[in-house]
Amino acid sequence: MPSIGLTAGRCIAVHIPPKKEIMMNPIYHRVQFMESAAQIDTAPKDQGIEIAFAGRSNAGKSSAINALTRQKSLARASKTPGRTQLLNFFQIDEKRRFVDLPGYGYAKVPLAVKAQWHKMMQRYLNERKSLAGIVLVMDIRHPLTEFDWQMIEWCENSDVRLLILLTKADKLKYGAARNTLLSVQRELQQMTVSVSVQLFSAVKKTGIDEIHAVLDDWLEFAAD
């Protein structure tokens, strides 16, 4: 049904196409916790395709994983005490996985643990052949922390694809969220980093379709 718009005093019919419902690939809803690994040597076999989620502690990484898989508590596994410094693997299907990387940025963490985290992340990014890309989750109110830059630099150096989510976008007004998006994009451009940045909210479910499109591509679903 066309709606009516007013242009310079004239009444014209404007056709507004219905909002296209994008169906989520149902496979994401079936993602299951697989196992945790303290090092990459004890991780599941390095075959198939893996996408890793990284982010500062409390940035909203677990909530993002839960929203993207439309599951309430999938990523809670990685919050279990003792598992926070581990690589937590989730099975998508027999050849595809998500990995929840240890959260970083706790000021309280002893130096030795930080050093271990550095070593593990660097090895993971350099050596993991199945790694198809990193989704780096940042709280939109505190983007591009020192730790985020470290991840970005590692991705650049190891030629790993990167998607940045500015999450908790619902915490800002639309205009402020757009401005942060633009300024983050500008800052990355100035550092000659070419990467997609996406507004996201696990609460409002903003950005999910766009991120699924990237994940579908990285996971090569079209090739099946």
In terms of Cβ atoms closer than 10 Å to its own Cβ (0-12, 13-18, 19+), residue 121 is: buried
Check binding of 84 to ligand GDP (CB under 6 A).
Answer: no
Check binding of 63 to ligand GDP (CB under 6 A).
Answer: yes
Check binding of 73 to ligand GDP (CB under 6 A).
Answer: no
Query: From CA 216, how far away is CA 11, in angstroms rounded?
Result: 43
At 32, which amino acid appears?
A: Q
Closest CA to 184 of 198, 200, 205, 201: 198
Check binding of 103 to ligand GDP (CB under 6 A).
Answer: yes
Q: Which of 70, 83, 95, 171 binds ligand GDP (CB under 6 A)?
A: 171
Closest CA to 22 of 223, 222, 218, 212: 212
**Minimal distance in Å, beta carbon 179 to ligand GDP?**
18
Check binding of 61 to ligand GDP (CB under 6 A).
Answer: yes
Q: Which of 59, 101, 125, 160 binds ligand GDP (CB under 6 A)?
A: 59
Check binding of 158 to ligand GDP (CB under 6 A).
Answer: no
Check binding of 62 to ligand GDP (CB under 6 A).
Answer: yes
Query: From CA 51, how far away is CA 132, in angstroms rounded?
Result: 6
**Minimal distance in Å, beta carbon 217 to ligand GDP?**
23
Check binding of 216 to ligand GDP (CB under 6 A).
Answer: no
In terms of Cβ atoms closer than 10 Å to its own Cβ (0-12, 13-18, 19+), residue 115 is: exposed
Binding residues for ligand GDP (CB under 6 A): 55, 57-63, 103, 167-168, 170-171, 201-203
